[in-house]
Amino acid sequence: MSKRAVHELLVVFKDDLRQGLTSPLTLFLAVSYLLFSLLITLPYVALSRLLMEKLATEPGGASAAAALQVAGTTMWSQAFTQLTGSPEEGLALASVPLPALYTFFFASFIVPLLAVLLSSDLVADDLRTGHMRYLTLRCGRETLLGGRLLSRCLLLAATTLLGTGISFALFAVRLTDLSPSAYVHFLRYGLFLAGSAVVYAALAALCSTLVRSAFFALVLGIFLLLIFGVVDMASDVLGWATPNAYKLLLFSPNRWPQGLAAYLGFATLYAGAAWLRLRTRDL
Amino acid sequence: MDAGLVIQTSGLTRRFGSLTAVDRVDYQVPAGSISGLIGPNGAGKTTLISLLAGFLRPSAGTGLLLDRPLGHPEVRGRFAVLPQDATFPPRRRVADLLALYGELAGLSPAEAHAAGLDVLAAVGLQDKARERAGHLSHGMTKRLGLAQAFLGNPDLILLDEPTSGLDPRNAFEIRRLIANLKGRSTVIVSSHNLAELQSLCDHATILSRGKIVVQGPLEEITRADAEIRIGLFGEAPALAPLQSLPGVEQVELVEEGQVLLVRFSSSKTPVELGTATVLRHLLEHGALVTSLNRGRSLEQRFLELT
């Protein structure tokens, strides 16, 4: 990469980040995601607290709580074995503190949508208005795409990590029985969420290079998310062509590197296709 | 690339489906000129400018712009374009946009900001620096487009219909700004306003149906270097004595005898000297001269050629 390209990349990155941080839409989406993190955490915390208080006040509550924990672990282990088809995997997943799994499970559904909402206007609106012409007179198409994608990924990563941090803080403060390993699992899942946001931001970038309107790029992005969901549920074979199929690997304490590699592959594929499309299309 | 040319294309072609918008064009623009790009609607002017600027990919053919192949990264920042229908992001402030363009072109943030304010002052928009681009009128947006084209003193500026849709005062201002670039940059101006181009340009290219009909110095195209038209009132002068004057190649009366068309053999006599000789002869023989024009108007030539 030439010195000039690096300069262009940094200028575009800084400019897009500044725009993102002052954009009402971006701020609204980020705050909404943080509220979502809070809202999914609160019922879990409230129910757990209620159960803990009830067991604490009842005679023999301590032993009942211990028995419940063992029963819960067994139940989750069986459920995860059923889901993954491997007793070893089931046991490993059951060892992950439930609050961490719970948070990651819900957030993993909303993060793709957040990424698509935040990244659909990457280049599409500039293509529509012709502003892309002013920009590409002074900046390479690939550096423009790269700089903006990096900026959106940073915003998404910061938002998802903050959301995970909020959930974790609430669990840590309100649940006295949160295991020490929960710290590690929350951090890992927080990073995975940020990573999956990158994959879907790259997908949104691809959509943004295919059409000449941020709205149509958004519609296309959401449509693809739905297609991915349907294909993943309907077909074991075709499902592997979507990022959704690898989500379960990210949950696993043993197999997460495979999941991460798959996500990295999808991010490269989508970003590469977006780059190729923008490079060859008419402005 | 020929020395002294800033643009040279060879067989440049662009097709949109079955439509060939630019058809095997060999376009040349000499350095330092203000060159007009003329043609009826759909002639391919905007497509040609877009191909030169790298907005569109050619279907065939090649081209050099500032000694580099079209779309070469090394020419980025050395040429600027005022696209015909591009707009600016409405939420962005005018000065911030220009500072961004300046920074992308390699200036430091402080230099880019200062350069932005300079070009805004040059186009008379200095008091709009903090305005959002979406709040500017059509004329102001056009001037902002010119400001970004002037940013960083590029070697080559391509202006696609710079005065279209503007009121006469704004159009005059923009023509004045373009004329001021003479000697500093090579400028290509596409316009339908032929009188405007004739007053601005010293080189022109006429396009029709995607093909170049004629290109060259404006004097050659309008034949200003080889013929004059003298308006007469009253009795027509005898043509034979005029025909025998030095340097005169052909004399004829046109437009119902009201205009005397004189063609010079430009290789023998400069047109200025020939004009003086013919006029002196006419006045000495009592002719009533009402007007004098060198060559034909660009409009006439355009109508003849397209």
**Per-residue pLDDT band at B267 (split at 50, 70, 90):** low
Sequence-distant (≥ 6) Cβ neighbours of residue A20 within 8 angstroms: A26, A118, A151, A152, A155
- Classify residue A55 as exposed, middle or buried by CB count within 10 Å of its CB (0-12, 13-18, 19+): middle
Instruction: Give the largest CA-CA distance in chain A.
Output: 77
Is A142 at the interface with chain B, CB within 8 A? Answer: no
* Cβ within 8 Å, pair A135-B104: yes
Task: Show residues of chain B in contact with A5, CB under 8 Å.
Answer: 73
In order of A25, A277, B7, B117, B193, the CA distances from B10 in angstroms are 48, 27, 10, 39, 28
Rounded to the nearest angstrom, the minimum Cα separation between B183 and chain A is 23
Look at residue A177 in the predicted model and tell me its pLDDT: 67
Residues of B in contact with A8 (CB under 8 A): 104
Instruction: Give the per-residue pLDDT at B112.
Output: 95
The answer to whether the beta carbons of residues B93 and B131 sit under 8 Å apart is: yes
Percent of chain A at pLDDT > 70 equals 96
> What gap in Å lies between CA B65 and CA A185, rounded to an integer?
57
Contact B192, B164 (CB under 8 A): yes
- Please give, rounded to a whole number of angstroms, the shortest distance from the CA of B273 to a CA of chain A: 47
How far apart CA B89 and CA A131 sit, in angstroms, is: 7
Q: Exposure of B125 by Cβ count < 10 A (0-12 exposed, 13-18 middle, 19+ buried)?
A: buried
Q: Which residues pair with B7 in a beta bridge?
A: B29, B65
- Token pair 């020490």 is at which residue? A180
Q: Say whether B86 and A138 touch across the interface (CB within 8 A).
A: no
> What whole-number distance in Å separates Cα of residue B257 and Cα of residue B234?
9
Report the residue from B53, B57, B85 with minimal CB separation from A137. Answer: B53
pLDDT, tens only, B157-209: 999 998 887 888 888 888 888 888 888 899 999 988 888 888 889 999 999 99
Choose among B55, B56, B76: nearest Cβ to A138. Answer: B76
For position A94, what pLDDT does the model report?
76
Spatial distance between the Cα atoms of B25 and A26, rounded to a whole number of angstroms: 47
A136/B contact by beta carbon, under 8 A: yes
Question: Hey, is the C-beta of A135 within 8 angstroms of any chain B C-beta?
Answer: yes
pLDDT band at B293 (very low <50, low <70, confident <90, very high): confident
Residue B164 or residue B281, greater confidence: B281
pLDDT at A86 over 90: no
- The CA distance from A271 to A202, in Å, is 5
Of the candidates B206, B218, B156, the residue with the CA atom closest to the CA atom of residue B44 = B206
CB contact under 8 A, A130 and B86: yes
8 Å CB contact of B76 and A283: no
Q: What is the dihedral of CA B131, B140, B46, B225, to 10 degrees?
A: -140
In tens, the pLDDT along A157-199 reads 999 999 989 888 888 887 766 677 778 888 888 898 999 999 9
Contact across the interface for A280 and B79, Cβ inside 8 Å: no
Does the distance separating the beta carbons of B79 and A7 come in below 8 Å?
A: no
Whole-number pLDDT of residue B65: 95
Mutate which of B52, B104, B150 to disrupt the A interface (most A C-beta within 10 Å)?
A: B104
Please give the ipTM for the structure prediction.
Answer: 0.83
Look at residues B143, B219, B172, B189 and name the one whose alpha carbon lies nearest to residue B39: B189
CA dist., res. B64 & res. B66, Å (int): 6
pLDDT for res A201: 97
Q: What is the pLDDT of residue B94?
A: 96
Shortest CB distance from B104 goes to which of A125, A139, A283? A139
**Residue among B73, B89, B104 whose CB faces A131 most closely:** B89
Q: What is the mean pLDDT of residues A70-80?
A: 75
Which tens digits make up the pLDDT trace of A201-239? 999 999 999 999 999 999 999 999 999 999 988 887 888
Q: What is the mean pLDDT of chain A?
A: 88
Q: Which chain A residues have a beta carbon less than 8 Å from that of B83?
A: 130, 133-134
Contact B119, A152 (CB under 8 A): no
Rounded mean pLDDT of A243-262?
86
pLDDT per position as a tens digit, B90-117: 999 999 999 999 999 889 999 999 999 9
CB contacts of A136 in chain B (<8 Å) are 54-55
Per-residue pLDDT band at A129 (split at 50, 70, 90): very high
Write the pLDDT tens digit of every residue in A25-52. Answer: 999 999 999 999 888 888 888 887 787 7
Q: Which residues of A touch B88 (CB under 8 A)?
A: 129, 131, 134
Average pLDDT over residues A233-254: 85
Contact B68, A130 (CB under 8 A): no
Instruction: Label residue B3 by pLDDT band (50, 70, 90).
Output: low
Predicted confidence at residue B48, as pLDDT, reads 96
Q: What is the dihedral of CA B89, B95, B101, B105, to 10 degrees?
A: 180
Q: Which of B56, B57, B101 sits opposite A138 (nearest CB)?
A: B101
Q: A136–B54: do the CB atoms touch at under 8 Å?
A: yes
**Partner residues linked to B252 by β-bridges:** B261
The residue count for chain A = 283
